[in-house]
Each structure stands twice: as C-alpha cells, then as structure tokens.
Structure 1
Amino acid sequence: MQVIALIIIGAAAGFIATRAMKMETDIPTTVAIGVIGALIGGLVLRFLMALTGALGGFVGALLGAFVLIWLWRQYGRR
C-alpha cells in the first residue's frame, strides 16, 4: 500500500514540480521525477512527516522533485 501511495504522491509532486519549473517531459519521466523526488524529500525531510503527516510527505516530495529537476538541468542532458 505504501508503494502505491508513493507513486500517487510522487506523480502529483512531479507534475507540479515540472510545471512550476517550466520543464516539458512525458508522463513516465514526470512520474519518475516525482517518485525519485519523493524518495529524496522523504529522506531529507523525515522529521517534517513526523510532525505533519501526509501533508509533510507531499511537501517533501515536492521539494525533492524540485531538487532533482535542478540537478538534472545542471548535470544532466545537454
């Protein structure tokens, strides 16, 4: 069940992050950015999840997706 929640939250966070940072990607890439961002955000912002529950998880996923997009733009495809 947690894997499904991670995919759903990650997909939403990836969609918002790619649109906010004006990055055009296909659906699988958007979902992957969100899921990986959710993992990064979950590791970095674990204390936030403990304090605020699911909302903290979403915020962490969104911030993680932002960081991943920034890293992709800096060091990724050129």
Structure 2
Amino acid sequence: MGMIVSLIVIGAAAGFLATRVMRIEADIPTTMFIGIAGALIGGLVLRVLTTVMGALAGFVGAVLGAILLIWLWQKYWKR
C-alpha cells in the first residue's frame, strides 16, 4: 500500500515537473498519469541500463585484469 502511495506522490511531482519543462498545460489527472507512466518507463529503462552497464563493467574489469596480468608476465617472468 505504501509503495502505491509513494508511486502516486512521486509520479504526480514528476508529471508536474515534466509538464512545466515541456511547457504543456494538462489537468491534474493527466499530469499524474504522465508522471506515473514516466516513472514506470524510466524505472524500466534504468534497470535495463544498470544490468547492461553492470555486465559491461564486469567485462571491462576482466579485460583490464587480463592486460595487467599480461604486463606483469612480460615484465617479470618472460625472459
């Protein structure tokens, strides 16, 4: 129940801000709908980006670790 109330409050605030930034006039229910729908879409997009970036960060870390290991191997063990 608390999650729904917070979604409505945050959605209403986001909708209000978005309608002002985009300079459109909308009634209160439309503004709330815009904000709630935007919160759902934005949350989904951020979740996907976080997942992708998390996997990408792991890949970048693995490449950097491998480069470091190759550098150490060439510097200290390969003669």
TM-score normalised per structure 2? 0.57
The one-letter code of the counterpart of 1:14 is G
CA deviation after TM superposition for structure 1 residue 46, in Å? 2.4
Note if 1:9 corresponds to 2:10.
yes
Q: Quick one: distance in 1 between partners of 2:9 and 2:49?
A: 19
* Percent identical: 65
When the two structures are aligned, how many residues end up with a matched partner? Answer: 49
Residue 32 of structure 1 corresponds to which residue in structure 2? 33
Deviations 1:8-56 (A, max 9, x none): 100000000000000100000000000000000111112789xxxxxxx
**Which residues of structure 1 form unaligned runs of 5+?**
50-78
Residue 20 of structure 2 corresponds to which residue in structure 1? 19
**Which residues of structure 2 form unaligned runs of 5+?**
51-79
TM-score normalised per structure 1? 0.58
Larger Cα-atom Rg? 2
**Higher relative contact order, chain-length normalized (CA < 8 Å, sep 6+):** 1
Moved over 4 A (4+): none
The one-letter code of the counterpart of 2:11 is G
